[in-house]
Amino acid sequence: MPPPRPSRRRVLGSLAGAGALGALSAAGCAAPSGVASGKTRLRYWHLFGGGDGVTMAAMLDAYQQSHPDVDLQAATLAWGSPYYTKLAMAGAGGRAPEVAVLHITRLPGFAPGRLLNPFDLDLLAEHGVTEADFPPDLWRRGQAGGKQYAIPLDTHPIVLYFNTEICEQAGLLDADGRLVPTTGPEEFVAAIRAAGEVIGGPGLVVETLGADTVGPWRIFWTLYSQTGATMLSEDGTRMTLDDQKALEVLEFMRMLSDEGLIAPRTDYAASVGLFSSGQGGFFINGEWEVSTFLNNEVPFSMTRLPDIFGSGRVEADCHSFVLPNQTDRGGPGNEAAHEFVAWLLKNSVDWAAGGHVPAYLPTLEKPEYLDMRPQSEYRSVIDDVVLDPPAWFAGSASALEIELGAVFSGVFTGSRSPENALAEAKSRLQDLLDTPNPFGETA
């Protein structure tokens, strides 16, 4: 399961704190500087824990073995708000690590040009990585002011898990054991009902509540995006929410609860437990739980969330590599950072084992990735992922996801009507739009 989510107060407080501390020296944030004689120091900060952390550690070991001339100093920091606060402080002080990981949706809030340095695309190309190797939309989201500040490693979308034994009994699988595709809300609901009849209970499992829950946000943002509507203007400064389409989605979410298709009061841990124990034919969640179900020997597979409201778009984020601001960036350390990023991208088949879809397109064609089941079953979703709106307060572990996740949670649990949820969501979104970016603007 994903790391613990920060509280709303902690999210907003840490954002403000990072802005206030931006002028301070970040010497205390830098990794240890002891470098083996004759080696190039390469400091790398990331937030991967759990199964992701194990996979990343193995990749770093392989990199180090093949690069004995590099002194790799990797640091795993606390996921979410604490990580981003420390990264911002390090960049503000100009004494940051050579390379770090950033959710690409957090880029607008990281004042590219001040807290981050741009990549040298010519240097990256010397190591065999170019713009043509990535989906255009993911590459574009890594840009600011005409420069490239983030290089995508993966995309991690929500997907549809399905219990193969339950779905087979319900007649929902084809001859190859894959889920028969559905289109539109009626067909999807019919499949949920069929699975529910097999188990004698709700056929679909979703996260509906919990401290700082974001599952309801992910589901809303997926379904709303499928309608083709937007939430914010392209520059992230103005609300463009389509009330009619938003209400249609919220009414659908409420119907799932009212008609017993989901358990209305299920936190994240309970949702994973319910599906893992066979108490759900379907499970909507991020693809990162694949290792949990494989380890628990659950009879399951995975596929893209179907077209319910007019397209196959799904909510996602993207782990990306960034170059935190260094006052004197350049030289061997900077070149090592570019080569390091290129090496990890070219070896991202290993990274895909944890469920993430590699953003480096050549990886998607490698036989060892195509043979990886069920991880390769939903790879086509990379062309239909929809990231959070482009605003400083959006992205993973952000105020937007936590604020609106709490609102939409009430639609599932019955504490809010769809109309009330829409009005409250618009009010909270406007409050966020009216709040100045504590990180400052792009240089």
- CA torsion 199→201→205→208, rounded to 10°? -170
Sign of CA dihedral 78, 84, 87, 93: negative
**Distance separating the N- and C-terminal Cα atoms of the chain:** 37
Tell me the C-alpha distance between 37 and 294, whole Å. 44
Q: pLDDT at residue 20 above 60?
A: no
- For tokens 């996260």, name the residue: 207
Supply 266's token pair: 């299920």
Length of the chain as a residue count: 443
pLDDT recorded at residue 212: 86
Q: What is the pLDDT of residues 114-161, one digit of tens each?
A: 899 999 999 999 999 999 999 999 999 999 999 999 999 999 999 999
Measured from the Cβ of residue 168, the count of other Cβ atoms closer than 10 Å reads 14
**Once rounded to an integer, what is the mean pLDDT over residues 338-346?**
98
Vertex 167, ends 165 and 172: CA angle to 5°?
140
Domain ranges of the chain: 8-156+317-380, 158-316+390-434
What percent of the chain clears pLDDT 90, i.e. is strictly above it?
81
* Alpha-carbon radius of gyration of the chain: 22
Tell me the C-alpha distance between 259 and 265, whole Å. 14
Confidence of residue 10 (pLDDT cuts 50, 70, 90): very low
- Fold match, 8-156+317-380 / 158-316+390-434: yes
Three-state SS at 63: helix
Residue 77 falls in which region: left (phi positive, over 0), alpha (psi -120 to 50) or beta: beta
pLDDT recorded at residue 341: 98
Q: pLDDT at residue 30 above 60?
A: no
pLDDT recorded at residue 211: 87
Which residues does residue 101 pair with via DSSP β-bridges, in sequence order? Answer: 321
pLDDT recorded at residue 439: 66
Q: What is the CATH number of domain 158-316+390-434?
A: 3.40.190.10
Q: What is the pLDDT of residues 191-221, one digit of tens each?
A: 999 999 999 999 999 999 998 899 999 999 9
CB 99 within 8 A of CB 23: no
pLDDT recorded at residue 11: 37
Q: How far is CA 298 from CA 52, 166, 329, in A?
A: 20, 11, 48
HSE at residue 159, side-chain half, CA atoms within 13 A, is: 28
Confidence of residue 24 (pLDDT cuts 50, 70, 90): very low
Average pLDDT of the residues of the chain: 90
Contacts of 285 (CB under 8 A, 6+ apart): 158, 159, 161, 206, 207, 215, 271, 272
**267-292 exposure pattern, b = at least 16 Cβ within 10 A, e = fewer:** bbebbbebbbeebbbbbbbbbbbbbb
- Structural domain 8-156+317-380, CATH architecture: 3-Layer(aba) Sandwich (3.40)
Contacts of 297 (CB under 8 A, 6+ apart): none
**Once rounded to an integer, what is the mean pLDDT over residues 375-404?**
94
Closest CA to 299 of 190, 183, 198: 198
Confidence of residue 51 (pLDDT cuts 50, 70, 90): confident
Tell me the C-alpha distance between 110 and 100, whole Å. 13
CB 104 within 8 A of CB 152: yes
**DSSP letter at 285?**
E
**DSSP letter at 112?**
B
Tell me the C-alpha distance between 215 and 127, whole Å. 38
Tell me the C-alpha distance between 263 and 251, whole Å. 16
Strands, E, within 134-266: which ranges?
143-144, 147-148, 151-152, 154-163, 204-205
- For tokens 């397109």, name the residue: 361
pLDDT recorded at residue 31: 38
Task: Write down the H helix ranges in 179-289.
Answer: 184-199, 215-226, 243-258, 268-276
5-14, 324-333, 351-360, 411-420 — which is least confidently predicted?
A: 5-14
Q: pLDDT at residue 244 above 50?
A: yes
CB 230 within 8 A of CB 240: yes
- For tokens 């289109």, name the residue: 183
Q: pLDDT at residue 13 above 60?
A: no
Q: What is the pLDDT of residues 253-280, one digit of tens each?
A: 999 999 999 999 999 999 999 999 999 9
pLDDT recorded at residue 49: 86
